[in-house]
Chains A and B, each alone.
Chain A
C-alpha cells in the first residue's frame, strides 16, 4: 500500500487516465475542470503521451473520435455548457462503435449558467443526443472513486466499443481528499482488430471505421436494421450486466434516500445522522446512471413509505426513480431550491436533507 496523497477530484481524473494507460488527451479549457487540462498539459508530455489543446470542444470530441478509431485509448474532459458542443461527436462515435471516455465536470446551467457546482447534466448524459443510443454513464462520489472510475470507464468503453461518460461536478473536481493510488485490474479485453491502423500489417486488407453503418452496407454486409438490432442487443447486455450501485441500511428502511455524486456525500451523512437518531432510513447510491439500478428501486418500492431523491437540479434523476417506483409509493425531491445560503451560489448541506427526512417521517 502506497502512502496516501492529497489530490483534487480534477487531478484524480488525470491520474486515473495515466493508470488506465490512456495515451491521447484532447481538450479545451472551461471552469470548473481547468485543473484537468492543466494536469494533462503538464504530465502527458513527460511520459511520452499526447496532449493537444484543441481550438474548441467540437474539435476536441472529433480528435478523440479520430484517435479512438485508430485504436488508442483517448479521452477528453469538459463542463456542462461545452458538453453540449460534443453531442454530435458523441452520437457519431456511438454509430462508429469506437470507445472513448468523456468526463463532464458539471457546472450550473442552462446556457453558460454559473461556474460553480451543479448536477444539471443528468439528462443529457444519460439520454444523449439524437438517435437511438445510450451512453454508459458513471458517477463517482469521492476523489478516490473518481480515480478508480476513470479506469473502469476505459475498460467498459473498450469492452463494449462505446463512449463512456464520467459525470462529476464542480464540488468533486475542486475538493481534495487523501487518495491511495493503485491500478485497478479487469478481465482481459479482446484485441482491437477493427481499428483503422493502416494496411501495413495486414497486406491489402484495410479496416474501415465509418459513422453510417448499414447505409454503407456494401462494406460490412449489414443493413441499417440489422445493425440497429445488433446495437440494441448490446445495450440490453450492458443493462443486464453492468449496473453498479451501493446500498446502506435497506433491510428495515421506511424511507430510502437516493443520490449520486457529490450530493451522495451529503446524503450519506444525513442518513447516518438519521440512523443515530433512531430513524429507519436507508440509502441507494447509483454508480452507473445508465444503466440505472431500476430493478433494485422497484424491489423496495412496495416496502417503504417513500423515497427522497437528493440531486442538485430542479429534478432529473427523480424522473428515473419515479419510473422505477411506478407510483407504488411517494417520491420526493431535495433539489436545487433546497440549496443553503450563504455561500455565493449555495449548496445542499447535510442538515437540509436531514430536516426533510424528519418532515417525511
Chain B
C-alpha cells in the first residue's frame, strides 16, 4: 500500500510551491474522487478483497432515499441499512435531514452503498424511494428515476401513485405492525420487503446489525418484535419480487 500511495500523491496534489513537505501531502491519501486516483483505488479494493474482510456479492451500488415524518423510524432504518452495509460494500454514506421538532416534521435521508467512491451523499434522483406518509409522497414522488422502485405503506397513504414509469412495492405496513403489537415497527416491515425484493443485503447481516443497534441503545428487549417485523416483510416478498 505504501508504495502505491507515494506513487500517486505527487500527481494528485499539485502544490503551488515545491516546499510542500511530502509528509504533509500524505494526509490527503484518502481523497479519492479526483483524477489520478483511479489506479490507486483499484489497488485498494484488490487489497481488501485479498484480505477477505468483505462478503462476496453481486450488486455493486444502491442509491436509496427514505421519507416520512419524525417518529416513524425513517432515519433509523436508513441508519440500519448503512450499518449493515459496512461489511458488504466498500463505501457507505448516510445523509439525514430533519426539522427542529421533537416529534413530527419532515424527515428524509439518503443512503448510498457502493463499491466505488461515493461522490455525492445527496441524491437528486434516487433509484429506490421509501415513503411512509402522504405529504412525503407528494414531495418526493417525482424525484424517483424512471424504472425506480417505490416502497410505501398503504395504510397511511391512500391516494393513487401518479407515476406510471416506476415499480411499486407496497403493503399496509402500519396495519401489519399493529397486528404484531406495535405500530412503530412498520418501517422494518417495509425494509424487510425491500430486502427480499432487491437482495441488496443478506438478511442475516441486517439482523445482526439490528441486534447491535438495539444493544447500543439498551433496547435489547425489543429485538424479538423488531426481528419479527423485518421477517414478516421479507417473507411476504421473498418469492419472485411481487406480492403474493
Chain B residue at minimal CB-CB distance from A266: B120
Interface size class of B (residues with CB under 8 A): 35 or more
8 Å CB contact of A152 from B24, B47, B79, B118: B24
Interface size class of A (residues with CB under 8 A): 35 or more
Chain A min CB distance to B202 (Å): 18
Indicate whether A268 reaches chain B with its CB closer than 8 angstroms.
yes
Contact present for B31 and A145 (CB under 8 Å)? yes
- B-binding segment of A94-102, A213-221, A241-249: A241-249
Chain A min CB distance to B35 (Å): 5
Contact present for A265 and B34 (CB under 8 Å)? no
Chain B residue at minimal CB-CB distance from A144: B30
- A-binding segment of B11-19, B173-181, B236-244: B11-19
Task: Tell me the bound Cα distance from A272 to B220 in angstroms.
Answer: 44
For B165, the chain A residues whose CB sits under 8 A away are: none
- B-binding segment of A85-93, A175-183, A195-203: A175-183
Indicate whether A149 reaches chain B with its CB closer than 8 angstroms.
yes
Chain A residue at minimal CB-CB distance from B53: A3
8 Å CB contact of B17 from A5, A241, A246, A344: A241
Centre residue among A151, A187, A247 by max chain B CB count within 10 A: A247
Centre residue among A5, A145, A186, A244 by max chain B CB count within 10 A: A244
Q: Mark A206-217, 1 if CB is under 8 A from B, else 0.
A: 000000000000
Contact present for A175 and B93 (CB under 8 Å)? yes
8 Å CB contact of A185 from B23, B53, B86, B123: B23
For B31, the chain A residues whose CB sits under 8 A away are: 141-142, 145, 246
Within 8 A of A (CB), among B138-161: 139-140
Chain B min CB distance to A21 (Å): 15
Task: Tell me the bound Cα distance from A5 to B53 in angstroms.
Answer: 13
8 Å CB contact of B118 from A177, A248, A351: A177
Contact present for B24 and A186 (CB under 8 Å)? yes
Chain B min CB distance to A14 (Å): 17
Known contacts A241-B19, A243-B17; A184/B120 CB under 8 A: no
Indicate whether B55 reaches chain A with its CB closer than 8 angstroms.
no
For B123, the chain A residues whose CB sits under 8 A away are: 349-350
Contact present for A243 and B16 (CB under 8 Å)? yes
Chain B min CB distance to A266 (Å): 5
Contact present for B119 and A269 (CB under 8 Å)? yes
For A244, the chain B residues whose CB sits under 8 A away are: 13, 15, 20, 28
Chain A residue at minimal CB-CB distance from B14: A247
Contact present for B86 and A5 (CB under 8 Å)? yes
Contact present for B16 and A295 (CB under 8 Å)? yes
Task: Tell me the bound Cα distance from A327 to B202 in angstroms.
Answer: 56
Contact present for A347 and B122 (CB under 8 Å)? yes
Indicate whether B94 reaches chain A with its CB closer than 8 angstroms.
yes
Task: Tell me the bound Cα distance from A269 to B31 in angstroms.
Answer: 14
Within 8 A of A (CB), among B1-51: 1, 12-17, 19-21, 23-24, 26-28, 30-31, 33-35, 47-48, 51
Task: Tell me the bound Cα distance from A242 to B100 in angstroms.
Answer: 39
Q: Mark A123-146, 1 if CB is under 8 A from B, else 0.
A: 000000000000000000110110
Can you report 28 residue pairs joining A to B where beta carbons are below 8 Å apart? A6-B83, A6-B86, A31-B100, A115-B100, A116-B97, A141-B31, A142-B31, A145-B28, A152-B27, A174-B96, A174-B97, A175-B94, A175-B95, A176-B79, A177-B92, A177-B93, A177-B94, A178-B91, A185-B26, A243-B16, A244-B15, A245-B13, A248-B33, A266-B120, A340-B124, A342-B139, A344-B97, A351-B124
Q: What 6 A-B pairs are tightest by C-beta distance, nearest first?
A: A351-B124, A269-B120, A241-B19, A269-B119, A175-B95, A342-B139
